Amino acid sequence: MQPKSAVMLRVLLNKYCKGTPESFLSCLPNEETQQVLATDIRSEDPSPVFKTPFEKIEAIHPSWFAPILSKLPTEAQSLLLHSLPEGHALRLGRTLKTRMEVGRLSEPIKFFLAGKLYQTLVGESEPLPKAFLPPVNLEPLIDLKKDELVELVEFLGLHDLGENLRQILNQKILQRVYACLSPREQQYLKFCLQQKEKVAAPPLGLERWSGDCEKLKNTLQTRGIIRLGKALSGVHPDFAHHIAYTFDAGRGQTLLRYRSPNPQPGITPALAQQVLSLLNILKKKSAA
């Protein structure tokens, strides 16, 4: 039985057979029965599988579709833009410098084109709906918006910065670094400096840094994404893809590149705990 078939059957059993599902699986080979029973899915709602292509595309940052559209003739780009959610169409139109021709597509044509574009992106490995994913310790990440994820990786990058600042004696460099940080970031950096960093990171090269705050911010974001990718090592791959698709394509691809299929001993647990602790801190500060 295909893994996704086992997931769907498990969801239906959760909904319609909450007592002894084994009796309903007796017609299956024992191996497939055990496969379904071992599928750790809590959801009782099968409706997520019926999401339209528009709904699926809306959950993905539009930049993921730019490389696909850029390979097509301008006329085809314009046609496909008409099939996308309005926000995605406007943003991709600006990115590709493609004008949407006046006119409307019928709903069935929109549905067909949007579905083709979505399948081109995900290929044979369409992620399971979020509700069908097995439980993971980093579950709070799954519902974060892009801005929240970007803030998370910016703060995660401060762990790398704190580790490097311990080696910096030049006061001018230290002053310029702090001048680039917001008050909240400065506060969290002080917290990092008070902790013993469990995961060593390569030097940031602050001795050669020009003082450009934008470059420092970009570097910290990249370091934070690397930490998040390693924290996601070993989790269900579809969970990682949902997080990656929420980011823009550049950040998302970096995240997936640093995620490993298996947890990295001594690294993944420490970084996962770091992520969860930081999420709690950011949540409390947002609520304050």
pLDDT tens digits for 66-91? 999 999 998 889 889 988 998 999 99
Across the range 119-147, mean pLDDT stands at 91
**pLDDT beyond 60 at 288:** no
Burial (Cβ within 10 Å: 0-12, 13-18, ≥19) of residue 47: exposed
Percentage of the residues of the chain whose pLDDT score is greater than 90? 56
List CB contacts of 44: < 8 A, sequence separation 6 or more: 11, 14, 15
Joined together, the tokens standing for residue 246 give 């929420």
- Is the same domain home to 95 and 182? no
Reported as a pLDDT band with limits 50, 70 and 90, residue 280 is: very high
- Is the same domain home to 65 and 160? no
- The string of DSSP codes covering 99-157 is PPPS----HHHHHHHHHHHHHHHHTT-PPPPGGGSPP-TTGGGGG--HHHHHHHHHHHH
Across the range 251-277, mean pLDDT stands at 95
Reported as a pLDDT band with limits 50, 70 and 90, residue 226 is: very high
Reported as a pLDDT band with limits 50, 70 and 90, residue 140 is: very high
- Is the same domain home to 60 and 11? no
Of the residues 93, 122, 151, the one at which a domain ends: 122
pLDDT value, residue 287:
58
User: Which is more confident, 162 or 23?
Assistant: 162
pLDDT value, residue 102:
60
Residue written as token pair 């801005």:
147
pLDDT value, residue 103:
65
pLDDT value, residue 40:
82
Joined together, the tokens standing for residue 251 give 């950040």
Do residues 249 and 66 make contact, with C-beta atoms less than 8 angstroms apart? yes
pLDDT value, residue 119:
94
Secondary structure of residue 225 in the 3-state scheme: helix
pLDDT value, residue 24:
76
Mean pLDDT rounded to a whole number for the chain:
89
- Is the same domain home to 212 and 273? yes
Q: How many distinct structural domains can be found in the chain?
A: 3
Q: How far is residue 129 from each of residues 46, 209, 222, measured CA to CA in Å?
A: 10, 43, 27
List CB contacts of 49: < 8 A, sequence separation 6 or more: 8, 129
Reported as a pLDDT band with limits 50, 70 and 90, residue 275 is: very high
Across the range 217-243, mean pLDDT stands at 96
Does residue 28 fall inside a structural domain? yes
- The string of DSSP codes covering 154-204 is HHHHHHHHHHHHTT---HHHHHHHHHTS-HHHHHHHHHHHHSPPSS-----
pLDDT value, residue 180:
95
Reported as a pLDDT band with limits 50, 70 and 90, residue 4 is: confident
User: Which is more confident, 134 or 221?
Assistant: 221
Inter-axis angle of helices 213-231 and 268-287, nearest 10: 120
Q: By residue range, what is the domain housing residue 228?
A: 139-287
- Is the same domain home to 234 and 187? yes
- Residue 182: which of 205, 158, 163 has the closest Cα? 158
> pLDDT digits over 29-59, tens only?
888 888 877 888 888 888 888 899 999 999 9
Does residue 134 fall inside a structural domain? no
Does residue 128 fall inside a structural domain? no
List CB contacts of 224: < 8 A, sequence separation 6 or more: 152, 153, 154, 155, 156, 157, 158, 160
- Is the same domain home to 170 and 230? yes
- Is the same domain home to 160 and 274? yes
Across the range 83-108, mean pLDDT stands at 85
User: Which sign, positive or negative, has the C-alpha torsion 211, 215, 221, 227?
Assistant: negative
Does residue 133 fall inside a structural domain? no
Q: How many helices (H) and strands (E) does the chain have?
A: 14, 0
Does residue 131 fall inside a structural domain? no
- Is the same domain home to 268 and 170? yes
N- to C-terminal Cα separation, the chain? 49
- Is the same domain home to 56 and 42? no
Does residue 144 fall inside a structural domain? yes
Pick the range with the lowest mean pLDDT from 100-109, 179-188, 209-218, 249-258.
Answer: 100-109
- Is the same domain home to 152 and 223? yes
